[in-house]
Amino acid sequence: MILVTGGAGFIGSNLVNELLKNKLPITVCDFNTKIDKSYFKDISNILRFVEPIDLRNFIFENKISVIFHLGAISSTTFPDANQIWYNNIFTSKEIWDLCCKNKIRLIYASSAATYGNGDKGYIDNQNLTYLKSLKPLNIYAWSKNEVDKRNLFAKNIQNISPPQWISLKFFNVYGPNESHKENMISIVLKTFQQIKKNETTLLFKSYNDQYEDGEQKRDFIYVKDCIKVLMWFLEKDNISGIFNVGTGQARTFNDLVYNVYKNLKKNINLKYIDMPKEIKNQYQYHTKADLRKLIKTGYDKNFYTLEKGIEDYINNYLNKKNYEIS
């Protein structure tokens, strides 16, 4: 059996659909109140839904081969540090320990936000000294780096680890099944919604002299590519480590917005607005995944370009689902 925590979430639900397509036995751990049945192509084939409070007992009482741990508080502006510590760090540590004890393979989500302002590059180095030198810019990013550090300490210093462990540093993900994320939805979906409501698209001004307004850059990755990487590591049970999951290309927010308007055949209506004071010091102006380590594992699948990813998302999903325009 495969267990997916956060299986009703953005990346989680896309992964569950892919696992079901491959006729694999799946159990989803998530809050019942968060389950949107429209996210799943064949919800009847999911073996069971488990509430997070019951997760520990479920792992002990069932034979599980792999855990995809994708559940977390993912908001970069979430105010409660104690809740983030419990959900993102304590729970992740508990899952790591259970996987060690029960010899369960573990593939879990980290984040490119751990790299902070990028002054040390975006290299998926799993040296403990390197991880300690990173300076995440918000509590969410800090929590993800703490999990990586603690797991690496357990492996390298205590010699304790699951039979396989994979930490995936996802960059800026967009795609189907993200509408529940509210203010954390991708700029692709946000722009789509604004266009459909005949509203002006809003982007943050730049407060860095190296970047003009809208020219801030991100490594935007389509969720379908994230799922390909997750499935790759499911097949490669002899590989462990920390890996970047991006396209290796940095594109501007202006590029992104332009492509949304282009696919909807609309004239651009764009305004640059002041950045909220509380995130000015937490803002990444440039991200770009170093993929050499992932490629070295033998991964050779092509990534969607920003143009092709947005085209697929809009034409095959957003234009067909009214719930995305809320």
Annotation says 101 is catalytic? no
Annotation says 211 is catalytic? no
Query: Per the residue annotation, which of 140, 258, 304, 313 is the catalytic one?
Result: 140
In three-state form (DSSP H/G/I as H, E/B as E, the rest C), the secondary structure along the chain is CEEEECCCCHHHHHHHHHHHHCCCCEEEECCHHHCCHHHCCCHHHCCEEECHHHHHHHHHHCCCCEEEECCCCCCCCCCCHHHHHHHHHHHHHHHHHHHHHHCCEEEEEEEHHHHCCCCCCCCCCCCHHHHHHCCCCCHHHHHHHHHHHHHHHHHHCCCCCCCCEEEEEECEEECCCCHHHHHHCCHHHHHHHHHHCCCCEEEECCCCCCCCCCCCEECEEEHHHHHHHHHHHHHCCCCCEEEEECCCCCEEHHHHHHHHHHHCCCCCCEEEECCCHHHHHHCCCECCCCCHHHHHCCCCCCCCCHHHHHHHHHHHCHHHCHHHHC
Query: Per the residue annotation, which of 93, 149, 181, 224 is the catalytic one?
Result: 181
The catalytic residues are 140, 181
